[in-house]
Structure 1
């Protein structure tokens, strides 16, 4: 039987649904304005083509945005919760109406497969706004006592791996609680945040409630350091998170930090192997491995290691790498040349240190930033690929004999964001969840998210929670505080 019998014909999504402007300014006080600083280019990582010129906000621009947010805070925070909820509901509905446009733009600017942005990211974005709209008039029941109060102006800095989803995680609870926002998207993926600014205009959101300043690290530093910012929320690298914690130490500012991870995905000998293999693939190759909570360390019980690895390699051989806008694509483009260089460097280190490297045969496009799905076996705790966050489609495989050994190996990391457990025994799931030092432990699944469920880490994976009631209280102070 021919291997090509199940080949799919190309099924590209149309770019015509998206209107990318040649240049973009900043969104301040309800209007798009020119920045006072320089500009930068945002690039399609699948083709390396320049998509648009984007304003880079300097300190003066950030100051204008914070002043606009402070001015708007007085009216927004005093607005009845039911009225704030109407705006959040309106935004959620517009996101649903413009879902195809948002998904295509996210895939073009980020490099992720359209089936992920279409079926995962955008629906979750709308769900977060719907969920927190429901909370806006129920803040007395958030667990902080009667009449909790918003902090004020929230400075929010989001990463490039889930640009629109991280925006919703930050903005939706902040607005529901009565705060106003200045948000800085990542410099490589600003376009969906700027489209969200248009959605805010379409929803008639009061001017200044949401402000978006684009730029790189210096823009984020200016926002975090601004004296009139009351709450900082950051998702990104542990290194930058530590710098933010140092910058706000000794100030009145509150912070939520969701940082790096090196999650263990643990497969016991009684696990449903085929289901576990799908979970392994989704855990590390979803979004090209650009996931803080990716299951980048696979721990397999020795007695089933050969079987699991055999099925895993067969499954990896079916993954399609290529055009992010093709509906058949499983693994899209790496987000930037800088990230690709890091993935390559750590992968070379893994091979040099003696781990066995394997990738399925796949033809990578000639232009753009690409890396094949890769698995390393023979990995030990001492290998850098077992300790450092690669943030790409690279899986390190270790083995264990007993549950206690699995716990010890899983916890042997400075990170503590997530973990996965695969077993048929409910008691073992509960025992492992109790022992693992991770903010989220998935049982017989991986990378499952819901707006009602809190997410966050321990140790160098940060502190605070996003999602659920806990994500709301991160933007509220008790009435006695």
Structure 2
């Protein structure tokens, strides 16, 4: 049932049709039980784009009931893996057909530059459905040789209803890392997108239904903390997939544990990039800049800590100051923009508070930018920062880079591993032995060598320490939504 709201007209671009601002439950649109509404703000202007339903516990209950019925009685879990895979491949094709529409909607909702929304966000999300559509047919058990007479084998089965909770910074990608493998495994899903950025979640639910996804297999409930807590605690939910801050994730993990539910937790990060004395400086500096300005620094794997061999420290600082000053900042709908606004006023104010602590020498940036009423902050580089500074140890989640010198490999590794986080890391060196040696020592779920933020649906990522547990992407991402059942039949 198509219910597109009035389109929003963007400067210099064609209109972007908005999805219904209602809840999508059991294949249909409905208002929230409490009939509350939430404003959706354009970060580039600070103006209201539209409103969406403010779902609560009663709406979550309705969505979980629909998902449970679809799992217990519907065709989805009973299809072969190949059949489900065909459906997911079709969903990927639908996303390709609507690629430009979805990219512009994602840019409008989050403030991310359109060039990245189109190439990165849509590209990665489509890749998720394509990859897991291909992988769905590989879900199978195995026969086992046991001591006593009989036939023994294992089955790989879906868990049931999955609660998928995605964050505001990459709505399309980080919902796809949960929904695509969950569906490939035969589960049904209740998705609660971030309250600030729900628009592409609603539009995809509509497109997927039109593409033949059975009712109740994917449900979307927009809302805030009440909806999220109700989803995690609902007894009809059998698995939680969560991406968000460590503070919120701690509460989600505790609630999931109370219900004895497995959970995949992808949380905060404070990732380090290490530039050794033998690094190719031009390439390393380019990675350093990209690592902290990408997505306006709202990237849990962002390379927000730069560790530089002392022999290159001043050279790198000078290059960073020059580069940060010339990064194109502005209207995310313009093709030339590299850095757009932060996703909301509270995110902008949070970045300002960290920089105002004065814990480092400001080499570049350090100020809010007045652009069209939006939530802009200049790419900021802080030098001579103590390792125990808050801006080094805590997640700022904005375009802020700290730079620290080191003298030895051991010191570099110790600095890189000195925070409570362990999501990602990178190192730059021309010494192959050092690359393997340091990669093995870094406490992180993914390590890049002479590169940064290279991600693929086939390559698992996830955290250690306060960056969470479990893995998304790759076969490991599919395994997270399956359980093993053993079957024994006597033959004597």
TM-score tier (shorter): over 0.9
Is the CA contact 1:284–1:295 (under 8 Å) kept in the aligned structure 2? yes
> 1:7 aligns to what?
none
Is 1:122 paired with 2:122? yes
Which of the pair is proportionally richer in strand?
2
Q: Distance in 1 between matches of 2:192 and 2:134?
A: 26
Question: Where do 5+ consecutive residues of structure 2 fail to align?
Answer: 1-9, 145-152, 488-492
> 1:148 aligns to what?
156
Give the structure-2-normalised TM-score. Answer: 0.92
Q: 1:231 aligns with which of 218, 234, 239?
A: 239
Q: CA deviation at 1:315?
A: 1.8
- SS of the aligned residue for 1:46 comes to coil
> 1:36 aligns to what?
33
**Equivalences for residues 61-460 of structure 1 within 5 A:** 61-74=59-72, 75-140=75-140, 146-349=154-357, 351=358, 353-359=359-365, 364-460=370-466
In structure 2, do the counterparts of structure 1 residues 45 and 268 end up closer, same or farther at CA, with 3 Å as the change threshold?
same
In structure 2, do the counterparts of structure 1 residues 405 and 179 end up closer, same or farther at CA, with 3 Å as the change threshold?
same
- SS of the aligned residue for 1:438 comes to coil
Q: Distance in 1 between matches of 2:143 and 2:323?
A: 46
In the alignment of these two chains, the number of paired residues is: 467
> 1:6 aligns to what?
none
Q: Distance in 2 between matches of 1:354 and 1:395?
A: 10
Q: Distance in 2 between matches of 1:390 and 1:447?
A: 18
- SS of the aligned residue for 1:154 comes to strand
Q: Distance in 1 between matches of 2:142 and 2:482?
A: 9
Post-superposition Cα deviations, 1:164-211, rounded to whole Å, max 9, x if no partner, equal: 111111100000000000000001100010111111122110000000
Is the CA contact 2:352–2:368 (under 8 Å) kept in the aligned structure 1? no
Q: 2:53 aligns with which of 40, 50, 55?
A: 55
The 10-residue stretch of structure 1 (245-254 or 227-236) with the greater mean CA deviation from structure 2: 245-254
In structure 2, do the counterparts of structure 1 residues 427 and 217 end up closer, same or farther at CA, with 3 Å as the change threshold?
same
> 2:470 aligns to what?
464
In structure 2, do the counterparts of structure 1 residues 414 and 142 end up closer, same or farther at CA, with 3 Å as the change threshold?
farther
Superposition RMSD in Å: 1.9
Q: CA deviation at 1:360?
A: 8.8
Provide runs of 4+ in structure 1 moved above 3 Å: 12-15, 141-146, 353-357, 360-364
Is the CA contact 2:114–2:335 (under 8 Å) kept in the aligned structure 1? yes
Q: CA deviation at 1:91?
A: 0.6
